[in-house]
C-alpha cells in the first residue's frame, strides 16, 4: 500500500532523508519512530505529494508520487503535525468546508460529517466553535477531517503530541478502531510505549536513516538477548542476597537500585531461566518478596537500537 525505494531528500548538503526504503502492506499499522529532526515529517510530506524528493521512488496504492498525485490524494488522508483551524467556524461548518473540497455533496455531505464526528467522539461538540476546542479535541477534529473521503491509507504525523495522558490513550484507541476498519496507517511519534499496542510494525529513523525496520516482536527480541530479573528480599537483606547470587555462573552482573531497593540481575547471554534465583535465595533462608522478569518496552528497544548503531 505504501512503498518507498531509496527515498532521499537533501536540503543543501544535509540529508533529511537518506535512502529510505519502506514497505507497508494492506492493514499494516506502522509506527514511525525517531527523535526531532529524524526525517519523519519529510517522509510524510513526500508521500502526501506535498514535497518532492531529491531522488528515489515512492508509491501509495500503486500510484507514483511523481505522476499519480491526484490519485494518491484521493486514496490517502494526511494529518500534519500542525494544522490551521479557522476562526469563527463551528465544528460542523469546518468539516462541511473540507467535505465540499472533497466534492462530497448535499445530504451525503451532512451524513459523512456526522459519521466522522461520531467516530472521533465529538458529536456533542458539533455546534462549538473550533477555536474553543481543547488540544485533544482539535487533534480528533483534525483526524475527522482526513477521514471524510474514506481514505484507505492514513499518514498521521504525531497525532498524540501535546496531549495529556488520557487524551493520548484516547487517540491510540481511535487508531485501533481505524486499524480494525482495515486502514493502512503510517503513524509517527517520539513517544514509544503506546505505539507498541497499536502497531504491528515499527521503523526507527534517525538523521534520515532507517535504523530498524520490522515487526514489533522482533524489535523486542533484538534487545532481549539478555534477560534482566528484578529481585527483592525481605528484612533489608538485599545486599547480602546480591553477594550470594553473584557467585552463580549464570549471573553476568547485579545492580542494586537504591531508590526502589531492588536488585537488577542480568543473566548471561542466552540464559532466560531465572528459577535458580528463587532456589538459591530460599535455600539460604532469605524471604523472597519479588522475582520477575523486567519488561522490555519500546522505549528500551528504541534506546538500544539507536545507541547500538550510532555509537
Ligand X SMILES: Nc1ncnc2c1ncn2[C@@H]1O[C@H](COP(=O)(O)OP(=O)(O)OP(=O)(O)O)[C@@H](O)[C@H]1O
Q: What is the side-by-side order of every strand in the sheet holding 262-267?
A: 251-257, 262-267, 228-233, 288-293
Are 223 and 301 contacting, i.e. CB atoms less than 8 angstroms apart? yes
Q: Cell 466553535 sits at which residue? A: 129
Shortest Å, Cβ 135 to Mg ion: 17
SS3 294: coil
Residue 36 in the binding site for ligand X (CB under 6 A): yes
Q: Which does 53 bind (CB under 5 to 8 A by kind): Mg ion, ligand X, none?
A: none
Q: Which does 227 bind (CB under 5 to 8 A by kind): Mg ion, ligand X, none?
A: none
Binding site for Mg ion (CB under 5 A): 40-41
Supply the DSSP string of 82-144, one letter for each residue: S----TT-BHHHHHHHHHHHTT--HHHHHHHHHHHHHHTT-GGGTTSBGGGS-HHHHHHHHHH
Distance separating alpha carbons of residues 49 and 68, to the nearest angstrom: 9
CA distances from residue 274 to 220, 232, 246, 281 in whole angstroms, order as listed: 19, 14, 13, 12
Site for ligand X in 133-152 (CB under 6 A): none
Are 9 and 42 contacting, i.e. CB atoms less than 8 angstroms apart? yes
Distance separating alpha carbons of residues 207 and 14, to the nearest angstrom: 9
Shortest Å, Cβ 38 to ligand X: 4
SS3 226: coil
Q: Which does 277 bind (CB under 5 to 8 A by kind): ligand X, Mg ion, none?
A: none
Residue 40 in the binding site for ligand X (CB under 6 A): yes
Of the pair 41, 227, the CB lying nearest ligand X is at 41
Residue 16 in the binding site for ligand X (CB under 6 A): yes
Site for ligand X in 186-205 (CB under 6 A): 190
Shortest Å, Cβ 294 to Mg ion: 31
Q: How many helices (H) and strands (E) does the chain have?
A: 11, 14
Are 116 and 77 contacting, i.e. CB atoms less than 8 angstroms apart? no
Of the pair 19, 190, the CB lying nearest ligand X is at 190
Shortest Å, Cβ 17 to ligand X: 7
Distance separating alpha carbons of residues 117 and 92, to the nearest angstrom: 9
Dig out the grid coordinates for 37 from the structure.
Answer: 529532526
Among 4, 18, 41, 219, binds ligand X (CB under 6 A): 41
Distance separating alpha carbons of residues 270 and 248, to the nearest angstrom: 15
Of the pair 189, 238, the CB lying nearest ligand X is at 189
Residue 162 in the binding site for ligand X (CB under 6 A): no
Of the pair 74, 209, the CB lying nearest ligand X is at 209
Q: With CB under 6 A, what is the number of residues at the site for ligand X?
A: 13
Shortest Å, Cβ 158 to Mg ion: 6
Of the pair 36, 180, the CB lying nearest ligand X is at 36
Shortest Å, Cβ 32 to ligand X: 8
Residue 13 in the binding site for ligand X (CB under 6 A): no
Among 24, 30, 33, 39, binds ligand X (CB under 6 A): 39
Among 18, 20, 31, 34, binds ligand X (CB under 6 A): 34
Of the pair 77, 274, the CB lying nearest Mg ion is at 77
Distance separating alpha carbons of residues 213 and 218, to the nearest angstrom: 10
> Rule CB under 6 A: which residues touch ligand X?
11, 14, 16, 34, 36-42, 81, 190
Amino acid at each position: 500500500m505504501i512503498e518507498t525505494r531509496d527515498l532521499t531528500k537533501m536540503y543543501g548538503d544535509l540529508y533529511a532523508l537518506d535512502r529510505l526504503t519502506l514497505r507497508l502492506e494492506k492493514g499494516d499499522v506502522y509506527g514511525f519512530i525517531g527523535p526531532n529532526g529524524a526525517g519523519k515529517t519529510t517522509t510524510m510530506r513526500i508521500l502526501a505529494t506535498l514535497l518532492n524528493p531529491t531522488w528515489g521512488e515512492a508509491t501509495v496504492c500503486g500510484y507514483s508520487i511523481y505522476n499519480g498525485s491526484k490519485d494518491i490524494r484521493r486514496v490517502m488522508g494526511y494529518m500534519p503535525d500542525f494544522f490551521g483551524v479557522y476562526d469563527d467556524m463551528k465544528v460542523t461548518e469546518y468539516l462541511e468546508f473540507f467535505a465540499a473540497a472533497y466534492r462530497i455533496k448535499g445530504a451525503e455531505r451532512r451524513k459523512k460529517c456526522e459519521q466522522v464526528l461520531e467516530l472521533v467522539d465529538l458529536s456533542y461538540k458539533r455546534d462549538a466553535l473550533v477555536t474553543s476546542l481543547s488540544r485533544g479535541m482539535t487533534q480528533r477534529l483534525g483526524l475527522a477531517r482526513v477521514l471524510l473521503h474514506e481514505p484507505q491509507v492514513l499518514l498521521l504525523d504525531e497525532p498524540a503530541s501535546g496531549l495529556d495522558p488520557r487524551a493520548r490513550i484516547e487517540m491510540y484507541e481511535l487508531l485501533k478502531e481505524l486499524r480494525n476498519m482495515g486502514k493502512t496507517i503510517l503513524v509517527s511519534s517520539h513517544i514509544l510505549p503506546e505505539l507498541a499496542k497499536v502497531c504491528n510494525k515499527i521503523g526507527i529513523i534517525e538523521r534520515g536513516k532507517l535504523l530498524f525496520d520490522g515487526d514489533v516482536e522482533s524489535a523486542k527480541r533484538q534487545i532481549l538477548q539478555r534477560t534482566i530479573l528484578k529481585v527483592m528480599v525481605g528484612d533489608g537483606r538485599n545486599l547480602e542476597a546480591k553477594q550470594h547470587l553473584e557467585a552463580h555462573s549464570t549471573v553476568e552482573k547485579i545492580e542494586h537500585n537504591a531508590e526502589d531497593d531492588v536488585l537488577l540481575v542480568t543473566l548471561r547471554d542466552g540464559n532466560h531461566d531465572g528459577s535458580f534465583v528463587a532456589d538459591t535465595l530460599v535455600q539460604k533462608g532469605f524471604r523472597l518478596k519479588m522475582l520477575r522478569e523486567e519488561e522490555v518496552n519500546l522505549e528500551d528497544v528504541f534506546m538500544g537500537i539507536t545507541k547500538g548503531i550510532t555509537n
